[in-house]
Every structure is written in C-alpha cells, then in structure tokens.
Amino acid sequence: MIENIWIFNGADSRFASGAFDDIKKAEEWISTNKLTGTLTNYPVNIGVYHWAIENEFFSPKKKEHTSPEFIGKFSSASQEHFHYEEGKRG
C-alpha cells in the first residue's frame, strides 16, 4: 500500500508534470531531463490540509482557514520537498 507519493512541479507551472512512488525514480527523471522545479512528498488518501492538522503542523485560527478556497489551495512547508535547477538538487 502506497502511503505517500512524490509530485514534481516545474518552475512556473500550474500543474504537476510527474508523480513517483520512489524519490530515486523521480530524481533520475528530473536529472535526465534537466528540469527546474520542486519535488514534494504528498500523503495519499488525505488532503494536505487535513494531514497538516492531524500532524499538528497547522491549526485553523480564522474563519477563512476553513473555507473551500483556502483548503483547496493549502500547502504545507512541513511536507518534505526539494528544489532543483537544471536537474540538480539545490
């Protein structure tokens, strides 16, 4: 059972361009294609908003913190992530 997945977002992209169950596979693809962007580890079968609350990385403090717009755009710096420039981890 997969518990997390690595998602790559290229620089200035609106959508992910790769999803990997293994960081080594992801980094090989990033390196081969000399990509610039961010590789982020995402939990599977739970949204990041609720994952962050469950793991005490985030606590809603304002009413807008529970809105669909906020939840739909939510990301957490607590997620493991790496930055790449021209295929090399920075």
Question: Domain limits of the chain?
Answer: 4-89
Phi and psi for 24 in degrees, rounded to 5?
-65, -40
| Cα end-to-end distance, the chain, whole Å | 31
- Tell me the pLDDT band of 29, cut-offs 50, 70 and 90: very high
Span 43-88, pLDDT tens digits: 999 999 999 999 999 999 999 999 999 999 999 999 999 999 999 9
Burial classification of residue 84, based on how many CB atoms lie within 10 Å of its CB (0-12 exposed, 13-18 middle, 19 or more buried)? buried
pTM equals 0.90
Average pLDDT (31-42) is 98
Indicate whether 1 pLDDT > 80. no
Give pLDDT, residue 8: 98
Is 38 within 8 Å of 82 (Cβ atoms)? yes
